[in-house]
Structure 1
Amino acid sequence: MPALRRRRRFELRAVDRTLSLGDAPLVMGVVNASPESFSDGGSVGDVGRQLERAAGLLAEGADILDVGGESAVTNEAAIPVAVEIDRVVPLVRRIVDELGAVVSVDTYKPEVAAAAIAAGAVIVNDVSGLRDVGLADVCARTRAALVLMHTRAAPKQRLQDPRRYPDVVGDVVHFLNLRMRTALERGVAVDSLIVDPGPDFAKTPAQTIGLLRRIDDVHALGRPLLIAVSRKDFVGALTGRRPSRRLAGTLAALGHCLDAGGHILRVHDVGAVRDFLTVRAALGGELDIEPDLVLDEALRHERAWS
């Protein structure tokens, strides 16, 4: 299958783990501990409910769980470090201790990252574009993996300028190359770096679409790609649907990004994405199919309820 032939293989170092990337995409499930989240803030609940969601995502096939204590929404002020730590750390600790999952923490604050890593997280997902180099220092000291994302906006700020990028892909590659250099200078190992082109972050829907059309060019950076297109604004702009109704558009975007060699898929709807990947792999010849494959009779029809 061409998509998988183009996907480069990497061994990602993350604290005391080594994650193999490239043979098949890894699915990163989103676990929100932020009630202000744009997509599911109303259902966040307490740490017990969040743990149940984490367990459900693992059962659906998540390989990594991305825990976030502060939403990227721009109509809310940034929360204090202490509040974010209180939201994130107990959840990370319980996910690691009780579920044994690989955990990423979605934060741009060094203090939060350090506390989450001490609780068991092994990846820091920084959506600020390394605005605070102290985050790189934390990852260098702990050997945590670091996701570097492209954005020209400060955290919690919205930048929607249709004239901002004469060449959006060129800007993404240049920006991430500089941020990689900074991280390396601060002591982060090259085999601990992941790059995220930042769909929707400081980009209009049209700019995001232009970027994703040429996402294959981001491979010039030589690091694995994290693909975060789930429920994004550009999908809503194309389909006219609210976040919870953007699954079909999300799957279409994921398929396109997989064709370009994406490595980690950050998604909300893990079960649906896992089904998508299974059928895709089967039809592409990447999944062995037994000749006697049949449909379970219990699955042939929907049960009628009165």
Structure 2
Amino acid sequence: MGILNVTPDSFSDGGAHRQVEDAVRVALQMEADGADIIDIGGESTRPYSDVVEAEQETSRVLPVIEQLAGRLTIPISIDTSKAEVAERALDAGAEIINDVTGLEGDPLMGELARQRSVGVCVMHMKGTPQTMQDDPCYEDVVAEIERYLVERLQACERIGIRRDRICLDPGIGFGKTHEHNLTLLRATRRFVELGSPLLIGHSRKGFIAKLIGDPLADRTAATLGVSLAVAAAGAQVIRVHDVKPTVDALKLFEASGGLN
């Protein structure tokens, strides 16, 4: 899953793709580089980010989706927690809703997903982007997030969203300390065993800078290290900014026995 943020303030690439033509060019290149999904977002969910109104968020993502829908051969995912934004994105050609609130932030989101028979990515987040890093605490981070994902999977099925359309995401960096993130990554196989596709979104995040000891260092190689580890543990969707290095690394990792 290639990340395409059309925002001014996302933590890593904010402002990089604000012009529609730039965003379209990057998305097409991601597909050429081997991406299987393009995930387009118009609101930053980094820690302490500002809330964006639905109309502004829509104005950012819709022109890009409209231009890409007839040119990409891979699915477009809309990264939003607002049903209004998701509906307009689906009308424009998106096929997946990627919701950091686990379809709980907007009471209309679940029904929209059911009615439109689209894929959904259901993520765990403790609190909101504005509060999630205010001393996040767990008694057992793996067990608690596993329980939450099972509950959300069952809730989606109860309202008529088919299991084969549901992807689960433990929410790396969303209301977790650096150690929580590492603990969750080491538990990837346990989340895979829940039986739904698992999405891991670790790309360029703060725990990586913490581990390599330099907040200003390029995080591509370190992100690749995590990508290979979670792929080996069975994660089916790896959400990254740098598609080509990831695809190349996975090809060679698989060819040399890493995914066996």
The TM tier, using the shorter chain, reads over 0.9
**Equivalent AA in structure 1 for residue 123 of structure 2:** M
Counterparts of 1:147-226 in structure 2 under 5 Å? Answer: 147-161=121-135, 164-226=137-199
Q: Which amino acid aligns with 1:81?
A: A
Per-residue deviation, 1:97? 1.2
Question: Any stretches of 5+ residues in structure 1 without a counterpart?
Answer: 1-27, 288-306
Instruction: Render the CA deviation track for 1:172-199: whole Å, top value 9, x for unaligned.
Output: 1111111112212222111110001111
Aligned 8 A contact 1:147 1:193 in 2: yes
Deviation at 1:279, TM superposition (A): 1.1
Instruction: Give 1:101 deviation, angstroms.
Output: 3.1
Partner residue of 1:34? 7
Change beyond 3 A, Cα 1:244–1:101: farther
5+ residue gaps, structure 2, are: none
Shift of 1:261: 0.3
In structure 2, the residue matched to 1:248 is 221
Asked if the contact 2:198–2:236 (Cα under 8 Å) also holds between the matched residues in 1, the reply is: yes
| Contact kept in structure 2, 1:128 and 1:155, CA below 8 Å | no
TM-score normalized by the length of structure 1 = 0.80
Q: When the two structures are superposed, what TM-score results if normalisation uses the length of structure 2?
A: 0.94
Residue 134 of structure 1 aligns with an amino acid whose one-letter code is: L
Are residues 222 and 99 of structure 1, via their aligned partners in 2, closer, same or farther at CA, if it must alter by over 3 Å? closer
**Percent identical residues:** 37
Q: Structure 2 counterpart of 1:133, which letter?
A: P
Q: Secondary structure at the match of 1:280?
A: helix
How many pairs are equivalent? Answer: 259
Q: 2:19 aligns with which of 46, 70, 80?
A: 46
- Give the root-mean-square deviation of aligned CA atoms: 1.8
* Kept in 2: contact 1:85–1:115 (CA 8 A): yes
Q: Which has the higher contact order (CA 8 A, sep 6+)?
A: 1
Q: Which runs of 4+ in 1 moved over 4 A?
A: none
Q: Return closer, same or farther for 1:258/1:46 CA change in 2, 3 Å cut-off.
A: same
For the residues of structure 1 that align with 2:200 and 2:103, how far apart are their CA atoms? 18
Distance 1:94 1:100, change over 3 A: farther
In the alignment, residue 40 of structure 1 is paired with which amino acid? Answer: D
The DSSP-based 3-state class of the residue aligned with 2:239 is strand
The residue number in structure 1 matching 2:119 is 145
Q: Distance in 1 between matches of 2:39 and 2:130?
A: 19
Decide which moves more: 89-98 or 276-285: 276-285
Which has the greater radius of gyration?
Answer: 1
> Structure 2: how far apart are the matches of 1:165 and 1:286?
32
